Structure formats: structure tokens, C-alpha cells
Structure 1
């Protein structure tokens, strides 16, 4: 088992806990871990920083701008948790936050963060980071690791395969088992194709967390 873990390839995955599309893709990557020798390397990005600072809020509705301003909270807590306990805590904390926000539909519930911290055995005091700018530079540094390469015309999820950062895959629901592995194989092939840039089609449904 130790040898198997050592031969796994780390896959950097940048997420903002608020994004439902990134959440679905992240659950797919966990399914891939079961059938391919890969391991998710969780990293943070900020939709608030991307949309309000880097894109200067252009084209945002008032409602979406307000959502982005609130989006700082969860990712700041993730940054504080990583500073406190190391980056390995990001995976469990993301799962705890995301399950509540997305699967349980508690996007407006202020207790989500404190419950998630308790579930992952982290100090409740870390919740105060949501309203602090203390870790913003750390968030921006992690964010730029992805977006300096992948560009500003995308969002999250972003992952890196074989040295190539890619936006996506954007999934409506989570493929499992062989389906998860086949999607991974195709994405790995694309990532190693010299000169490849983009595949896309319009979304015609909302993400499903079932």
C-alpha cells in the first residue's frame, strides 16, 4: 500500500468552495483516485478575486457582485486552516464545507463553516478568518499558480495534468467507476497534445449533487 501511494501522480486542483461546478468535478476526481494511480492535490483559488479584482467586476449583475463579495469568506477560512494545520487539511475541509453548501443546499446558512471546522477537528476560532484579509495574499498566490497559466477567461475548476493547466472538466453530475476513469484517460490525452486549447459546449442544465 505504501509503494502504491508513492507511485501515484499528484493532480493539482484549484477550487473555490462556493462553486457548484467545481464541487461536482472535485467529486469526480475522488472517483478517479479509486481507478487510476492519481491523487488530488487540493489548492485554493478565489472567484471573488477573479471577478472583482482581475476582471474588475465587468459585466456582473448586482446580485452576482454581492455573491462574489460574500465568496471571500469560505476560501479565507480554507487558507487559515491550511496555515494552521498544513495544506493536507484542505481536502477534508473542502468536503465538509462543500457537502453542506451543495449537497445539503445550505448556501445561506452561517453555521456551515463552524460545523465543517468541527467535523475536521479544526479550531472554531478559524471561522473568524472569513471576515479578515490576513490570508488574502496567500490566496492570491495560490490563485495565480493556476490563472497565470490558464488565463482569465475561465473560472473554476482548474486542474493540472502532465504539466498542463486546464479549465474543467465541467460536469453536470459525477461519473463513477469505469466512467470516471475513461474521462480521466481522455483528459490526460488532451493535456499532452501539443497546441491543444479548448473544447466546449453550452450548458443546458444545473449541476446535480445526487
Structure 2
């Protein structure tokens, strides 16, 4: 799964996948993508969304720095630590948030400084492209790859729990195994309720 820590839809999809792990023999691998990077050259963004994107680059840079120092498995817990603070505690995105999340996991707090440097941007771009190129750049997060098939989504609220989570995964796995399947979409979505 490819995530941007600020995206509430990615947060819900990640909580769904962790729930799937409880009811199916699945292990989620987390990877970083960037909504800022995805949208930086787009001219027709709504003003509210352009404003919303302004603080999204820092968290992904911190995630990339942590991954470079500790390996990819660190992203599972770091994403949860950042996401809890962003989506539940409503902490402002910035140095205090990064240090709090890093400290809670026993990770080097100086990684918070990565938010303000482009030192890991090449690795960020590689991760971003690995997640989104197979899906299509006009889409975003969450991006999920299952058995070689890549999808945008699921965009879901509230987070399915228990067997409902497993059934949704079963459906996605079935779609992933269907040659030539590309898209399933439903409009009129509500605002995300983060779980």
C-alpha cells in the first residue's frame, strides 16, 4: 500500500488492511507516495486543495528518511504513529508532530529535520513512481498492489471491520486476478470518517 500520511482516505484504507490481516493470511507492506509531488504541476487545483497540500511534503520526507535509516518495515508503525497524531489527535503538521511520533517508536528524533531538506527526494520519487506508475498518475492515494495488479483505492468510510474487511479484500483480490479489469467507481461519496 502506498500512502501519504495526511490523506484521510489512505488512513482508512490502511486501517482496513490492518484489519484484513486479522482475518486473512495477508501481510501489508507500506510504501510512501506524495500528494504534493502528484499535484505540484497541476494548474487546475481548487484553492482549498492547493492550501491543504502545503504541509504534506514534510511527513513523507520524514517517512523516507526513517525508511532509509531503519528499513522498509519501519513504515508500518511510523505511519500509524503519524496518522494517529494527524487524524485523531489533530496535531499540527510540523516538527513537534514528527518528533512525537519518532520518539514514541524509539526512533532517532533528529529524523524530524528531514522534513525540511530534499536529501531523500530521489528515494521519495522512486517510491512514488513504483506505487503510482502502474495505477496511473491521474490517480492518487491510497494505491494498492495485489498480486501484480495495481489499483487506486479502496476509498472507504467507515473502515470495514472483521469479516466485512476480509470480504472487501476478497473482492479486490478477485478483481486483481481478472485479466483486463481496470476500474470500478461509485460517485457521491461522503466525507471520510477516520477510524
TM range (shorter): over 0.9
The partner residue of 1:125 within 81, 98, 110 is 110
> In structure 1, what is the Cα distance between the partners aligned to 2:100 and 2:37?
25
Out of 150-159 and 106-115, give the one that drifted further.
106-115
The answer to whether residue 48 in structure 2 is matched with residue 60 in structure 1 is: no
TM-score, with normalisation over the residues of structure 1? 0.89
The answer to whether residue 2 in structure 2 is matched with residue 17 in structure 1 is: no
* Number of the residue aligned with 1:36: 24
TM-score, with normalisation over the residues of structure 2? 0.95
| Deviation of 1:66 (Å) | 3.3
* Number of the residue aligned with 1:170: 155
> In structure 2, what is the Cα distance between the partners aligned to 1:151 and 1:75?
20
Pairs aligned (count): 195
Q: Check the 8 A contact 2:55/2:93 in 1, yes or no.
A: no
Q: CA RMSD in A?
A: 1.3
**DSSP-derived class of the 1:111 partner:** helix
**DSSP-derived class of the 2:28 partner:** strand
* Number of the residue aligned with 2:189: 204
Out of 198-207 and 177-186, give the one that drifted further.
198-207
> In structure 2, what is the Cα distance between the partners aligned to 1:108 and 1:135?
19
Runs of 4+ displaced beyond 3 Å: 107-110
Segments of 5+ residues of structure 1 without an aligned counterpart are 1-12
Segments of 5+ residues of structure 2 without an aligned counterpart are none
